[in-house]
Structures are given as structure tokens and as C-alpha cells.
């Protein structure tokens, strides 16, 4: 089976800083991949590479068999950024219908996307008058419109209440069962257990790439936050020069 995403030896500099230090990663279709790590470790930069909007130093990023950012991937890859990506002076429905028409998708599909993200009762409200969490869901509805085969979501559940987070995760898994590959970033570890596979990033490097159960087993703890801390300590110890006695 062709990999949905294949990243090899990816190096990215932003400004004068090296942000990604030769990372590699491959995933098959229909997987929910969690990208976790502390603020500033390089998650958004990595995601930008997947959707082809980040200048890379070296390495390769292949998505659905094509170089990331290829014109042929435009409708096959969806990206939810942290920044608002919908028009504040249009209603939720007007935004969804506008992006639907750009993508050649029906108005019915636009209305369904609004329902899918739990915004049906706010469909005719101006986006500028929504709460932060509602605003993010309006962006998510637009990202879902083209039924992308790869969906890259940068912190999609920030600002959402627990009930809605549950619903959004159920939707992510339903999409994965239908064959969509999702890469979902978060810096909160309580969402990690919901992913099929976890990429733990620190300082622009992957320090773990495992299903949650394997990570728990390897670190000897059921608490994924503690597991992450143990892995960081192990990798720091491995990187430290050995003491000469
Ligand atoms: N436009 C930019 N120019 C220069 N450096 C940048 C730029 N954007 C981000 N960086 C730097 O790149 C590094 C990685 O940032 P990135 O946004 O990828 O991290 P992140 O893990 O997504 O963080 P967060 O969880 O806070 O969103 C940081 O040190 C950041 O300061």
C-alpha cells in the first residue's frame, strides 16, 4: 500500500534557527497521527511542510505519492491552521458556501460540514461574533468541505469544551475509518491517547513514534504525560557525553 505521507531527512531553517533537524516519518492511509510536543518544538513548521507552504532546506516530503504542495494535491489535502482562516464579516453558512463554490462542492455539503462541527444553531451568525472555539470549528467545517484524503489539523480542539472535544475526536476517527489520514497537533497530553500513533517532538526532532500502548509499555507508565517526560529524560541522557571516571 502506498504511504499516505512519507517524510525523509527533512531539514528546515526559519530565520537563523534550525527548526527541524532531519526528521523522517511514514504513515499508511486511514491513520490518526498525533503530533505532540512543547510549544515552539516545531509542530506547526512540520505541518506546514506536509501541506507544502514551508520552504525546506533539504530532504523530501511526499503526500499521496506527490511532492507536498503539488497542484494536484490542492483538493486532496486539507489544512486547519491556528490562525482564523474564515471571513469574520460573513456568517458561518456564507463562509462554508463560499469555500464550497471555490472547491466546486455543493451547498448541501457545505450545510452538512456545519452540522458535522456542531455549528448548526450558529449557521447564520457572523463569524466575527462567535466565541474562539466556535470560530475554530467554522474553520474546521471549511477544511472538511473537499473531503480531503489527508487532513492536517493544527490544534483543532483548543478552546473546545469536553463534550465538543469528544464529538470532534469521534468525527476524526470516523474520517480515518473512511480512509482519511489525519495529522493532529496538540500540546496537551490528554488527547494523545485518542490517536492511533504518536509522534513526540522535542527541539525539532522526533523522540518517539509509537502507538500509545507501545509508548506506555516502553516507558512503564500508563500516564502518557509521564511517558513523554521519561522519553525526554532518556533521550537527554543518551545525548549527554559519558562521564569519564
Ligand atoms: N516566521 C518565523 N520566522 C522565524 N522563526 C519562526 C517563525 N515561525 C516560527 N518560528 C520559530 O520556529 C520554531 C518552531 O515554531 P513552531 O511554530 O513550528 O512550533 P510549535 O511546536 O508549533 O509551537 P506551538 O505549540 O506554540 O504552536 C520556534 O522556535 C519559532 O520561534
What is the Cα–Cα distance from 209 to 34, expressed in whole angstroms? 10
48 ligand 1 Cβ < 6 A: no
Render pLDDT for 89-130 as a digit per residue (tens, 0 to 9): 999 999 999 999 998 899 999 999 999 888 999 999 999 999
What ipTM was assigned to the predicted interfaces of this complex?
0.95
Quote the DSSP letter at residue 57.
S
Nearest CA to ligand 1 atom 24: 39
Residue 1 falls within a domain, yes or no? no
Looking at residue 74, its pLDDT comes to 85
3-state secondary structure of 86: coil
Mean predicted confidence (pLDDT) in 223-231: 89
Tell me, what CATH number does 213's domain have? 3.40.50.300
32-36 and 77-80 as β-strands: parallel, antiparallel, unpaired? unpaired
Query: From ligand 1's centre to the CA of 39, what distance in Å?
Result: 8
pTM surpassing 0.80?
Answer: yes
Same domain, 121 and 135: yes
Query: From ligand 1's centre to the CA of 181, what distance in Å?
Result: 24
Q: Look at the chain and report how many structural domains it folds into.
A: 2
Query: From ligand 1's centre to the CA of 44, what distance in Å?
Result: 7
Range of the structural domain that residue 38 is part of:
24-76+149-238
Probe target for ligand 1 pocket from 18, 36, 43, with the most ligand atoms within 8 Å of CB? 43
Residue 205 falls within a domain, yes or no? yes
Looking at residue 161, its pLDDT comes to 83
187 ligand 1 Cβ < 6 A: yes
What is the Cα–Cα distance from 150 to 24, expressed in whole angstroms? 18
Per DSSP, which regions of the chain are E strands?
5-14, 17-27, 32-36, 58-63, 66-67, 77-80, 150-154, 181-186, 197-202, 205-210
Residue 185 falls within a domain, yes or no? yes
Decide which of 147, 175, 200 is a domain's last residue: 147
19 ligand 1 Cβ < 6 A: yes
Same domain, 156 and 49: yes
Decide which of 147, 178, 194 is a domain's last residue: 147
Grid coordinates representing 67 are 511532492
Probe target for ligand 1 pocket from 45, 57, 156, 184, with the most ligand atoms within 8 Å of CB? 45
Average pLDDT, the chain: 91
15 ligand 1 Cβ < 6 A: yes
Residue 4 falls within a domain, yes or no? no
Residue 5 falls within a domain, yes or no? no
Amino acid at each position: 500500500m502506498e504511504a499516505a505521507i512519507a517524510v525523509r531527512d527533512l531539514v528546515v531553517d526559519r530565520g537563523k534557527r534550525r527548526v527541524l533537524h532531519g526528521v523522517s516519518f511514514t504513515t499508511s492511509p486511514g491513520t490518526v497521527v498525533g503530533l505532540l510536543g512543547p510549544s515552539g518544538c516545531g509542530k506547526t513548521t512540520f505541518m506546514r511542510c506536509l501541506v507544502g507552504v514551508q520552504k525546506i532546506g533539504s530532504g523530501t516530503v511526499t503526500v499521496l505519492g506527490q511532492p507536498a504542495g503539488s497542484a494536484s494535491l490542492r483538493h486532496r489535502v486539507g489544512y486547519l491552521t491556528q490562525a482564523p482562516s474564515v471571513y469574520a464579516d460573513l456568517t458561518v453558512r456564507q463562509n462554508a458556501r463560499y469555500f464550497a463554490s471555490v472547491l466546486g462542492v455543493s451547498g448541501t455539503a457545505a450545510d452538512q460540514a456545519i452540522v458535522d462541527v456542531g455549528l448548526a444553531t450558529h449557521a447564520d451568525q457572523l463569524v466575527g461574533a462567535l466565541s474562539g472555539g466556535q470560530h475554530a470549528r467554522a474553520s474546521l467545517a471549511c477544511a472538511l468541505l473537499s473531503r480531503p484524503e489527508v487532513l492536517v489539523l493544527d490544534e483543532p480542539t483548543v478552546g473546545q469544551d469536553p463534550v465538543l472535544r469528544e464529538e470532534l475526536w469521534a468525527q476524526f476517527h470516523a474520517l480515518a475509518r473512511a480512509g482519511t489520514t489525519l495529522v493532529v497537533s496538540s500540546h496537551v497530553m490528554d488527547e494523545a491517547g485518542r490517536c492511533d500513533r504518536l509522534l513526540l517532538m522535542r527541539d525539532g526532532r522526533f523522540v518517539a513514534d509509537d502507538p500509545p500502548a507501545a509508548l506506555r509499555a516502553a516507558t512503564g507508565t500508563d500516564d502518557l504525560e509521564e511517558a513523554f517526560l521519561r522519553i525526554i529524560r532518556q533521550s537527554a541522557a543518551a545525548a549527554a557525553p559519558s562521564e569519564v571516571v
